[in-house]
Amino acid sequence: MPRLLAGFVVALAAFVVALGGSIGAADRTVVTLGTATPGGGFPVYGEALAAVVSAQEPTLDVQPRTTRGSMENVPLLEKGELDLALVQGEVVHEALTGVGRPRANLMIVTAMYSTPGMFAVRGDSPARTIADLRGRPVAFGARGSGLVVLARYVLDGIGLDQERDFQAVYLERAGDGPAMVQDGRVAALWGGGIGWPGFTAVATSGGRFIAPSADEIHRIQAKHGFLKALTIPAGAYPGQDTAITSVGSWSFVLARPTLPEDVAYRLARALHRGEAALAHRLEQARETTAANTIAATPRPELLHPGVARYFREVGLLPSR
């Protein structure tokens, strides 16, 4: 009889543990996160963010989803087919201000990182300036990527056009670009930010970078004032011995307008508590902080109400 009782207790304990695990899994809120095509910076960032949020907030299960990038992510959010999405700064600007489209009703969850744009070329390339690339084949990224939009604004600011002045190449996968530079199919690869995988690949093989000159930056900002002068510090890429200044903006994690306030609150709390862990996982994610989110958000009312509530609770925003 004691053996039977002991066996029953063990079985009951196992059942309770299993039941507790299943309840825990059932109670987790699944949050879909749109990223971009493989080989670019967004999928890498999305995986890191999902891991950190899930570790900090066990009630959330952030699931990254491959998309065509920023240009697809915005309409997917508007249709409610994604809960969150990574969106390049220039696409955020156009969506939230209604440039060339109706103004989007989307909310900011966090600033991701700043994205100064530039070109990467082979080390033996004769090109030294943007003008030197005119008439040459240039890979501007995946067609749905926000980096393509950034290039359009940068080039327009200095009187150039992607289609007219270059042999514009658009990629199926962001990760295809570095090999095209290395084997000469394109003269340059456009991209942006710190730790961008395409730039790391080109720089590792001896490549170098071309950014707008100081005069060109002035001209770009005079025409497109929302673009900011941003600096990539020395050593951000292999062989990059000096800092590079260019123009760009902040990318954001945006939310669909119907994302529940309590979900956004838990996301903000997890990201704030996990800032160090996220920075440890990904160099460019060092800029993903609550302080940067508040500073980079164009207007306070664009913060998701759940995020704003958390920021007020921890004293980062003034109480109402």
Alpha helices in the chain (DSSP H): 2-27, 41-56, 70-78, 89-97, 146-157, 162-165, 177-182, 197-204, 214-223, 261-273, 275-281, 290-296, 305-313
Given the structure tokens 């004293």, which residue do they identify? 315
Along the chain (320 residues), what's the average pLDDT of each consecutive run of 10 residues? Answer: 45 42 66 93 96 97 96 97 96 94 96 96 98 98 88 97 97 91 97 91 97 98 94 94 96 96 98 98 94 95 98 93
Concatenating the DSSP letter of every residue in 4-44 gives HHHHHHHHHHHHHHHHHHHHHHHHPEEEEEE--STTSHHHH
Give the pLDDT of residue 23.
37
Give the pLDDT of residue 319.
87
Give the pLDDT of residue 1.
42
Cα R_g (the chain), whole angstroms: 22
* Gap between the Cα atoms of 158 and 147, Å rounded: 17
Concatenating the DSSP letter of every residue in 217-268 gives HHHHHHH-TT-EEEEE-TTSSTT--S-EEEEEEEEEEEE-TTS-HHHHHHHH
Domains of the chain: 2-113+250-313 (3.40.190.10), 115-249 (3.40.190.10)
What global pTM score does this model have? Answer: 0.82
Give the pLDDT of residue 12.
43
Given the structure tokens 């899930």, which residue do they identify? 54
